[in-house]
Amino acid sequence: MAVQWLLVCHGITTVLVVLSFLCGQWPIFQGTFVERIHYFITFGAYDYLLRFAGFVCGSRGTNAILSVEDFCCYRPNPILQIIYLIILGATYYFIVQSSFAYIPSYYLGDIHRYTSILAVGVGAVLFLLTSFSDPGTVKQENVSEYLSAYPYDNIIYSHKECSTCHIPKPARSKHCSICDRCVARFDHHCGWMNNCIGERNTRYFLAFLLWHFLLCIYGTVAIGLVLAGRFKELKVRYILTVYYGVQNSFLGLAPHVVQWLLSSYNTQILLMVFLAIVSLLMAGFFGYHAKLCLTNATTNETFKWQDYISQQRKINEGKTSPEAIKGNIDKLNHEKQRPPESKWKSFFRRSPSETVEVVAKNICNFSKCKKDSSSFCPSDETDMQVLLQQKGDFIHGVAVFLFISTNCCPRRRILSICPDNLHHLRKIESENPCFTNKRGVMVENFQFSVS
């Protein structure tokens, strides 16, 4: 009985973790424990690791972890590709070692010894095609073709030049800071492929997701049929009912059959659970990207439209006044200073912020960002308020304000910034080529002063 409850707890925990990881940012879960678990999985645990490393090893430990993060997350590297190949090879190896001895079985023919390796091989080929195919790199030689193929809508896409490649940016394209290239019809950068997903390899990526979903279903069903064959061949039902007096019903046999499977075929059960979970993940990813293809959209564009809609909503609500901005900042500072209700609740919240001072000189290269000077170098306080209001997102607007104050104003600024998550700052860095302050981080809980 304890084993059954252990399985139930394991299943509930697995479902909760997967649900929180995939759906924790959905509006329906806002303010719930699912959102908090999602934050802890994606950012909170890493924040606590940084704090622990800083407490034990000082700045050296923190810098070492940040260097590893920079290499793994913001530089092209084959780490996830190697992990994928290890997972694929190890899973197939354990299936061969644990289940091939029972093939052919009562429900499974000998042909599955060969179709299984063929199915795994096709998956590996699709992985290689997606990883090493050109996603649609925009170059000086072919930029005119992409400009004619993707006209500007003047809503989320307008004519501008890539500040890194120094070529016109076609509509629906994006410069990938990891791959350091402009990609036509950019969808996203996939770490598992160590490659961008764009116009020319989206079909391979979709085929990869669909095939691996089917591959996981195939493995789950095949192992299940192997176990069903063993149940039939060993006459387990007959032994349980005749020799042990177990009631010949589902409720009577189920606990004993589960116990028999876990004691005799635990490797196969673990493989089935693993493949079933991965199949659900693959189904979700494939369904999402298939929907994008049917609507002729990309992941990058969905975020752009969300930002645009949010911006329009704020514009319709009315222009932001200096008093409203000051009130929002005071409110956020008050929330930061408010003590947590309990240690358990604070464990799932954002890490407590520390205030550090950052001094930056006027080192903005106006020749490099002159095309954006009208957007990021306001002439007076009124323009600053308009800029914040036009950004649509208040937190993003404050980050841009700090960026302006640091680099685009004619005198030195001293900023008191509360550091938390580096990805907020790196987003601003990637969007603004003249951002040079590498130490400050802007998040929800912050305070700043300008002198």
- Residue 213 structure tokens: 């979903």
Tens of pLDDT, residues 149-179: 999 998 899 999 999 999 999 999 999 999 9
What pairing do the DSSP bridges indicate for beta strands 195-197 and 188-190? Answer: antiparallel
Say which DSSP state 416 is in: E
DSSP designation for 29: G
What is the maximum span of the chain, computed from C-alpha positions, in angstroms? 91
pTM, whole model, 2 decimals?
Answer: 0.68
- The Cα 379–Cα 283 span in angstroms is 51
Residue 190 among the catalytic residues? yes
Q: CA–CA distance from 282 to each of 272, 274, 276, 286, 451 (Å)?
A: 15, 12, 10, 6, 52
Annotated catalytic residue, options 165, 179, 190, 409: 190
| Total length of the chain | 451
Categorize the per-residue pLDDT at 200 as very low, low, confident or very high, splitting at 50, 70 and 90.
very high
Domain boundaries, the chain: 1-75, 77-136+185-296, 322-431
Convert the pLDDT of each residue in 275-314 to its tens digit.
Answer: 999 999 999 999 999 999 999 999 999 999 988 888 887 7
Give the pLDDT band (50/70/90) at residue 326: low
Q: Is the pLDDT of residue 261 over 70?
A: yes
Distance separating alpha carbons of residues 256 and 376, to the nearest angstrom:
69
Nearest residue to 366 (alpha-carbon basis) of 400, 413, 404, 402: 404
